[in-house]
Amino acid sequence: MSSTKVEPSDRAFVRARVIASGAAVLVLGISYAYAPYVHDGPVVCLLRGLVGIPCPSCGLTRAFCALSHFELREALRYHALSPLLFAAVVATPFVAAYEVAMRRPVSRPWLFSSKLAWGLATLFLAHHVVRTAGWISDFSVLDGYLRDSWTYAVLTSLGLLPG
């Protein structure tokens, strides 16, 4: 019986794509299963927990949960860039399968593009500035976020702030 010899580099190439696909499927699965509980979940963001102001990626978990149930409008409300990232996660297993079949890393120019990185960073920056300004203007940063922070909870429990 003849067998095709797999070079170590080939094995690493396939393994990396299997791991990436597995991670993407896991993210999608967790997003779908966690959706009913996401609004009761704890604050896990260090910035939001300590300072009370959401970080640039805050809202992505809720947005991914909404998108996994095809609730686009809800997802946009939590994070306007979430459909872009969700599409990238959905595409990952397909791109990985294509790369393994073709034995060619077609996603490499995108993954290691400095221009794309700076473009995305600018998009994230603009998005975060606009939405933070919105939260400040309608006072939701005070009512919705500062009061949810760990710092506020500690100060309240010490009696330094009204509960």
Partner 1 sequence: MVDRANIPMFKNEPVLVLVLGFVSCGLYLIYWNIKMAEVINAVSGREVISQPIAILSGCCMPVNAYFYYLCGQSMDEVGKLTGKEKLADQAMLLLILGIFVPMVSAMIVQGHINELYEGRTV
DSSP state of 113: -
Site stretch for partner 1 (CB under 8 A), options 9-17, 54-62, 146-154, 155-163:
54-62
Q: For residue 154, state whether it binds partner 1 (rule: CB under 8 A).
A: no
Among 24, 28, 35, 58, binds partner 1 (CB under 8 A): 58
Shortest distance, position 135 Cβ to partner 1, whole Å: 11
**Residue 146 is encoded by which pair of tokens?**
């500062």
CB 67, CB 78: distance < 8 Å: no
The smaller minimum CB distance to partner 1, of residues 117 and 142, is found at 117
Q: For residue 111, state whether it binds partner 1 (rule: CB under 8 A).
A: yes
CB 64, CB 82: distance < 8 Å: yes
Among 54, 66, 75, 78, binds partner 1 (CB under 8 A): 54
Q: For residue 110, state whether it binds partner 1 (rule: CB under 8 A).
A: yes
Q: Which residues bind partner 1 (CB under 8 A)?
A: 44-47, 50-51, 53-58, 60, 85, 108, 110-114, 116-118, 120-121, 124-125, 128-129, 132
